[in-house]
């Protein structure tokens, strides 16, 4: 495909910005591009089109404001004043970070609108450690999946008619491997089916190997305003040990394109505990992301799942996993570096510059309804938790038979929601609201788990502050072990 060097002009109307996007290569002269097909089909009524255009104009205006804000000279951090003594600076910084943690969580806990998740089950290739549902298949399979996904969306039109959404998250798999035009078509389908209000957060996951300028232009046109990049580590040799093949050049190109296109809300995934990964390698990755002006970083420890190639390689002695102590040191290093750079750890694995936290993910943590569409997607809707089949062929077959592709569905009783409330609340920086818990489940946790809580307090693992039960920050990495004591 012939690409043009496109430069954004902040004063240029949104339609003019995308007028110069080159057409996709046509397999035959008789075929038209996806853009022409959208115009010719006119599947969406004019009133819906106008509504979508207004939403896109709002998103464009907000993006311009964020660009202008980021171009202003940055103020020095409040704790960087050289007149403050070293001990006071550290204490002041800790206090400000603590205030931001609480503010971020409390603001997002008030959001009760639904989230929409869409799982794209395709990748270029499956990484050795990956346990997610993904397939390496071509264009025909992608288009067949698209047709089934659109039918599934239609199946929820009536049930969700009175529901209000304010976040979209397209994950996978690797959404950026999908053919050009898919995300735009999908956005039109979503906007014309579900009701959205307020400031919509629209996230898409991308991998450096499959990002192009034309795809990013398409994402902007679709209304995407948050991009999550699967970086994991900038050392390609370490990634190759676990079957992930990308280079620093791929990563550089991705961030260069994102900034050129005007994306501000950029997130990155980082993995620690990878075989042969050192503290220096972790430090280099975090420093790189800070320099690239990333606003949000998710840090995950490598989990070795039994049905993966990595598990087989470890069993055969080809690869040696890192121990827990090494992983803890890596996590502590990441936490220290990001805190110094102005990031706030608002959840065990998530760090953000204030106001750039993942609003969609908060819906999972605070027991709010969300709808999942696509192969293997999970949902929590009207008291029921259910999930779609992980098999692509079964997913398509069920939908073609006018049947929802759900394979497991259960009503979540209060006893189960109690357990989840404890687990999810304690992962957040603000901790568990004891008063709210008592009102919601008619249980005083300080009495029902008195012995366990006292033991954990004496050991320095948890503490109570302003009516909240919290895990001590230095023990966040082992939070799961602490939470189990309270269930």
Write down all domains in the chain, each with its CATH number in brackets: 1-75+111-412 (3.80.30.20), 431-484 (no CATH)
Three-state SS string across the chain, please?
CCCCCCCCCCCCCHHHHCCCCCCCCCCCCCCCCHHHHHHHHCCCCHHHHHHHHHHHHHHHHHHHHHHHHHHCCCCCCHHHCCCCCHHHHHHHHHHHHHHHHHHHHHHHHCCCCEEEEEEECECCCCCCCCCCCCECCCHHHHHHHHHHHHHHHHHCCCCCCCCEEEEEEEEECCHHHCCCCHHHHHHHHHHHHCEEEEEEEEEEEECHHHCCHHHHHHHHHHCCCEEEEEEECCCHHHHHCCCCCCCHHHHHHHHHHHHHHCCCEEEEEEEECCCCCCHHHHHHHHHHHHHCCCCEEEEEECCCCCCCHHHHHHHCCCCCCCCHHHHHHHHHHHHHHHHHCCCEEEECCEEECCCCCCHHHHHHHCCCCEEEEECCCEEEECCEEEEECCCHHHHHHHHHCCCCCEEEEEECCHHHHHHHHHHHHCCECCCEEHHHHHHHHCCCHHHHCHHHHHHHHHCCCEEEECCEEEECHHHHHHHHHHHHCCC
- When the pLDDT of each residue in the chain is averaged and rounded to a whole number, the result is 84
**What pLDDT score does 270 carry?**
98
Give tens-digit pLDDT for 84-107: 444 455 565 556 665 665 555 555
pLDDT grade for 134, boundaries at 50, 70 and 90: confident
Provide, rounded to the nearest whole percent, the portion of the chain with pLDDT above 70: 79
Q: What is the mean pLDDT of residues 131-151?
A: 90
Q: Is the pLDDT of residue 182 over 60?
A: yes
């Amino acid at each position: 495909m012939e690409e043009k060097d496109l430069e954004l002009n902040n004063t240029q109307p949104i339609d003019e910005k995308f007028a110069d996007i080159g057409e996709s290569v046509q397999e035959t002269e008789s075929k038209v591009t996806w853009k022409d097909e959208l115009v010719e089909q006119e599947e969406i009524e004019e009133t819906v089109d106008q509504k979508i255009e207004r939403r896109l104009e709002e998103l464009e205006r907000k993006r311009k404001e964020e660009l202008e804000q980021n171009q202003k000279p940055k103020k020095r951090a409040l704790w960087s004043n050289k007149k403050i003594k070293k001990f006071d600076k550290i204490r002041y910084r800790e206090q400000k970070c603590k205030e931001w943690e609480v503010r971020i969580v409390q603001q997002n806990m008030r959001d009760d609108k639904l989230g929409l998740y869409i799982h794209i089950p395709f990748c270029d290739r499956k990484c050795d450690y990956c346990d997610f549902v993904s397939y390496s298949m071509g264009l025909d399979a992608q288009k067949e999946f698209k047709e089934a996904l659109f039918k599934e969306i239609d199946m929820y039109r009536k049930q969700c008619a009175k529901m209000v959404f304010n976040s979209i998250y397209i994950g996978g798999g690797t959404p950026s491997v999908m053919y050009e035009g898919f995300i735009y078509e999908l956005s039109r389908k979503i906007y014309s089916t579900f009701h959205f209000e307020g400031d919509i957060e629209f996230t898409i996951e991308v991998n450096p190997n499959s990002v192009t300028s034309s795809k990013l232009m398409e994402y902007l046109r679709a209304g995407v305003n948050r991009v999550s990049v699967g970086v994991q580590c900038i050392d390609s040799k370490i990634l190759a040990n676990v079957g992930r093949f990308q280079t620093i050049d791929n990563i550089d190109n991705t961030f260069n394109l994102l900034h050129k296109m005007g994306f501000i809300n950029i997130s990155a995934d980082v993995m620690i505990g990878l075989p042969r990964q050192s503290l220096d390698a972790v430090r280099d990755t975090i420093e790189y992301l800070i320099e690239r002006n990333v606003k949000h970083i998710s840090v995950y420890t490598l989990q070795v799942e039994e049905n993966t190639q990595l598990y087989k390689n470890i069993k055969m002695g080809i690869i040696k996993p890192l121990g827990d102590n090494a992983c803890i040191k890596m996590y502590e290093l990441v936490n220290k570096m990001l805190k110094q750079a102005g990031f706030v750890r608002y959840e065990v694995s998530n760090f953000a510059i204030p106001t750039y936290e993942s609003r969609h993910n908060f819906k999972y943590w605070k027991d709010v309804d969300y709808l999942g569409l696509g192969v293997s997607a999970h949902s929590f809707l009207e008291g029921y938790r259910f999930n779609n089949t992980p098999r692509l062929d079964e997913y398509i077959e069920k939908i073609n038979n006018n049947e929802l592709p759900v394979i497991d569905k259960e009503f979540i009783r209060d006893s189960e929601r109690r357990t989840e409330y404890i687990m999810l609340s304690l992962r957040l920086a603000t901790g568990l609201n004891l008063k709210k818990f008592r009102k919601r489940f008619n249980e005083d946790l300080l009495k029902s788990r008195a012995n366990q809580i006292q033991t954990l307090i004496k050991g320095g693992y948890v503490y109570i502050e302003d009516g909240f039960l919290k895990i001590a920050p230095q023990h966040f990495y082992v939070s799961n072990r602490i939470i189990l004591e309270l269930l």
